[in-house]
C-alpha cells in the first residue's frame, strides 16, 4: 500500500468568522521529492491570524488559498528524504509546509534549525511573530526610555515580544488583553507595568478611561495589533509625535463595522499631533532575520525574554484551534503538534 499524507484544505470562503465547515480533511499518496527538493514530515504547525486573510479572495500582499488548496502555514519537521545538497534524512527544518502532515519543498525554501533551541520556538519567539515585533518596534516604534507603549493582543507572540523589548528599552509598558487571566499573564510572565482587560469594557469610552489610568502620561507608541474599539480608545490619548506601527487589525478580520464616521477624528489626531502611522508587512524585512536571531536568541536562552506556547494535539484539530485563536482562545503562540 502507498504511504498516505493528510492535509487540511480550504473547502469554501468564510463569511465573517470561519466555521469548521470552511475546511476539509483530505488524504493523498505521500509525494516524492524531485532533484533539489526535500520531503518533510511536519511535527509542528504554526497557526497565525494572517491565515484568515488568505481564506479570502481579495488582492493583498500575498495570494489567497484556492478552494481545495492546502491551507498555508509554516511548519517545523524532520527531513524524511532529500534530493538536495545540504539536507539529510533526520535534519530538523522549518518552512512553509502548509496545514499538512508532509510537504515537498525546494531546498532553498527550508531553513535548518539549531539543535540547542526548542523546535517550536522557530514558529513564535524566534520565528516570524518575534521577528515582526523586533523589526517593527526598532524601525517604526523607535522606543525611548521613560515614554509609554500600549499594545493589544499583549500575551500573543507579537504583543508579548513588543512589550518585553519596549521594557528592556526603558519604557512604561501597558498590555491590553482579553480577560483577567491573560492580564495576569501579561503582568507576571511578560513584565508589563499595567494591564487593561478589553473584555471588561463594552465601548471605547470605558476602555479609554481604563487606559488613561494605566498610561497617565499619555501614549507615545501604540503598537496596532487589533483595530476596532481599542484603536478608537487609544487615539485621543496619543502624545504629540507618537508612533503607531500598524501590524494587524484582528478585530476587523471578519469584516468592518461602520467606522466611516470616526475617520475624520482619526485624521485630525494624526494631523494635530503629527503622529506617524506606518504599515508593517514582515515580508519586506527578511534580510534582517539573521541579525534578529543573533540578537534575540541569547536573550531567550538566558531567560531575559519569556515566551509562552499553546500546543494543540493533532492536525485534525487545526481548524477549530484556529477559529478559537482568532477569538482569543489561545494562551501564547498557537501551535499544533502533528
Ligand atoms: N504585519 C505583519 O507582518 C504581521 C506579522 C505577524 C502578526 N501580525 C498581526 O499581529 C497581530 C498579533 O498576532 P499574533 O500572532 O501575536 O496573534 P495572537 O496574539 O496569538 O492571537 C490573536 C489575539 O488577538 C486578540 N483579539 C482577537 N480579537 C480581538 C478583538 N476584537 N479585540 C482585541 N483583541 C482581539 C486575542 O487576544 P485577547 O484574548 O488578549 O484579546 C487573540 O488571542 C495580529 O493582528 C496579526 O495579524 C502581523
Average pLDDT of the chain is: 95
The 10s digit of each residue's pLDDT in 156-208 is: 999 999 999 999 999 999 999 999 999 999 999 999 999 999 999 999 999 99
In a domain, 299, yes or no: no
In a domain, 240, yes or no: yes
Contact in structure between 219 and 239 (CB atoms under 8 Å): yes
One domain, residues 239 and 135? yes
| Helix residue ranges per DSSP H, the chain | 50-54, 128-136, 157-168, 180-188, 204-214, 228-234, 263-272, 289-301, 318-326
According to the model, what pLDDT value does residue 53 have? 93
Ligand 1 atom at minimal distance to the Cα of residue 283: 3
Distance 50 CA to ligand 1 centre (A): 9
Contacts 24+ apart (CB under 8 A), 252-261: 252/227, 252/228, 253/49, 253/52, 253/53, 253/326, 254/14, 254/16, 254/17, 254/52, 254/326, 255/16, 257/228
Ligand 1 atom at minimal distance to the Cα of residue 179: 39
One domain, residues 113 and 143? no
Per-residue pLDDT of the chain (338 residues; tens, 9 = 90+): 469 999 999 999 999 999 999 999 999 999 999 999 999 999 999 999 999 999 999 888 888 999 999 999 999 999 999 999 999 999 999 999 999 999 999 999 999 998 888 999 999 999 999 999 999 999 999 999 999 999 999 999 999 999 999 999 999 999 999 999 999 999 999 999 999 999 999 999 999 999 999 999 999 999 999 999 999 999 999 999 999 999 999 999 877 766 777 888 899 999 999 999 999 999 999 999 999 999 999 999 999 999 999 999 999 999 999 999 999 999 999 999 99
In a domain, 276, yes or no: yes
The 10s digit of each residue's pLDDT in 213-247 is: 999 999 999 999 999 999 999 999 999 999 999 99
One domain, residues 274 and 318? no
Distance 254 CA to ligand 1 centre (A): 13
CA–CA gap between residue 183 and residue 18 (Å, rounded): 26
One domain, residues 115 and 137? no
In a domain, 249, yes or no: yes
- The enclosing domain of 188 has a CATH number of 3.40.50.720
Distance 251 CA to ligand 1 centre (A): 8
Distance 49 CA to ligand 1 centre (A): 6
One domain, residues 53 and 136? no
Distance 13 CA to ligand 1 centre (A): 21
One domain, residues 96 and 199? no
Question: Atom 43 of ligand 1 has which residue's CA nearest to it?
Answer: 328
| CB of 252 closer than 6 angstroms to any ligand 1 atom | no
- The enclosing domain of 46 has a CATH number of 3.90.180.10
| CB of 98 closer than 6 angstroms to any ligand 1 atom | no
Distance 155 CA to ligand 1 centre (A): 9
Ligand 1 atom at minimal distance to the Cα of residue 251: 31
According to the model, what pLDDT value does residue 114 have? 85
Question: Atom 36 of ligand 1 has which residue's CA nearest to it?
Answer: 328
One domain, residues 224 and 323? no
In a domain, 297, yes or no: no
Listed residue (42, 39, 93) closest to 71, CA to CA? 42
In a domain, 37, yes or no: yes
One domain, residues 94 and 198? no
Phi, then psi, of 53 in degrees rounded to 5: -65, -35
Ligand 1 atom at minimal distance to the Cα of residue 329: 43
One domain, residues 143 and 108? no
One domain, residues 116 and 135? no
In a domain, 204, yes or no: yes
Q: How many CB atoms lie within 10 A of CB 203?
A: 10
One domain, residues 18 and 58? yes
In a domain, 8, yes or no: yes
According to the model, what pLDDT value does residue 60 have? 84
According to the model, what pLDDT value does residue 279 have? 97
Query: Total structural domains in the chain?
Result: 2
Q: Which domain holds residue 275?
A: 128-282
| CB of 247 closer than 6 angstroms to any ligand 1 atom | yes
One domain, residues 212 and 133? yes
CA–CA gap between residue 234 and residue 222 (Å, rounded): 8
Q: How many CB atoms lie within 10 A of CB 317?
A: 14
According to the model, what pLDDT value does residue 65 have? 97
Amino acid at each position: 500500500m502507498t504511504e498516505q499524507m493528510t492535509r487540511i484544505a480550504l473547502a469554501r470562503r468564510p463569511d465573517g468568522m470561519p466555521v469548521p465547515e470552511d475546511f476539509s480533511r483530505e488524504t493523498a499518496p505521500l509525494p516524492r521529492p524531485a532533484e533539489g527538493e526535500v520531503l518533510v514530515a511536519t511535527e509542528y504547525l504554526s497557526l497565525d491570524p494572517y491565515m484568515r486573510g488568505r481564506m479570502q479572495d481579495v488582492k493583498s500582499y500575498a495570494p489567497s488559498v484556492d478552494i481545495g488548496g492546502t491551507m498555508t502555514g509554516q511548519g517545523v519537521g524532520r527531513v524524511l528524504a532529500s534530493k538536495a545538497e545540504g539536507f539529510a534524512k533526520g535534519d530538523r527544518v522549518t518552512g512553509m509546509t502548509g496545514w499538512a502532515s508532509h510537504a515537498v519543498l525546494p531546498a532553498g525554501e527550508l531553513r535548518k534549525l539549531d539543535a540547542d533551541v526548542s523546535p517550536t520556538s522557530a514558529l513564535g519567539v524566534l520565528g516570524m511573530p518575534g521577528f515582526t515585533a523586533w523589526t517593527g518596534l526598532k524601525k517604526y516604534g523607535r522606543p525611548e526610555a521613560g515614554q509609554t507603549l500600549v499594545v493589544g493582543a499583549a500575551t500573543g507572540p507579537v504583543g508579548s515580544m513588543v512589550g518585553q523589548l519596549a521594557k528592556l528599552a526603558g519604557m512604561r509598558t501597558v498590555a491590553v488583553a482579553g480577560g483577567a487571566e491573560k492580564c495576569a499573564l501579561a503582568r507576571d510572565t511578560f513584565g508589563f507595568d499595567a494591564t487593561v482587560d478589553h473584555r471588561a469594557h463594552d465601548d471605547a469610552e470605558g476602555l479609554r478611561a481604563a487606559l488613561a489610568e494605566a498610561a497617565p502620561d499619555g501614549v507615545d507608541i501604540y503598537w496596532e495589533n487589533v483595530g476596532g474599539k481599542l484603536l478608537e480608545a487609544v487615539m485621543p490619548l496619543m502624545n504629540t509625535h507618537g508612533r503607531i506601527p500598524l501590524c494587524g487589525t484582528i478585530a476587523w478580520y471578519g469584516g468592518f463595522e461602520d467606522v466611516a464616521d470616526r475617520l475624520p477624528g482619526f485624521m485630525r489626531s494624526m494631523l494635530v499631533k503629527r503622529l506617524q502611522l506606518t504599515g508593517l508587512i514582515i515580508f519586506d524585512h527578511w534580510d534582517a532575520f539573521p541579525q534578529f536571531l543573533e540578537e534575540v536568541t541569547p536573550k531567550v536562552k538566558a531567560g531575559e525574554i519569556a515566551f509562552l506556547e499553546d500546543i494543540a494535539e493533532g492536525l485534525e484539530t487545526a481548524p477549530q484551534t484556529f477559529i478559537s485563536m482568532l477569538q482569543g482562545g489561545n494562551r501564547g503562540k498557537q501551535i499544533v503538534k502533528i
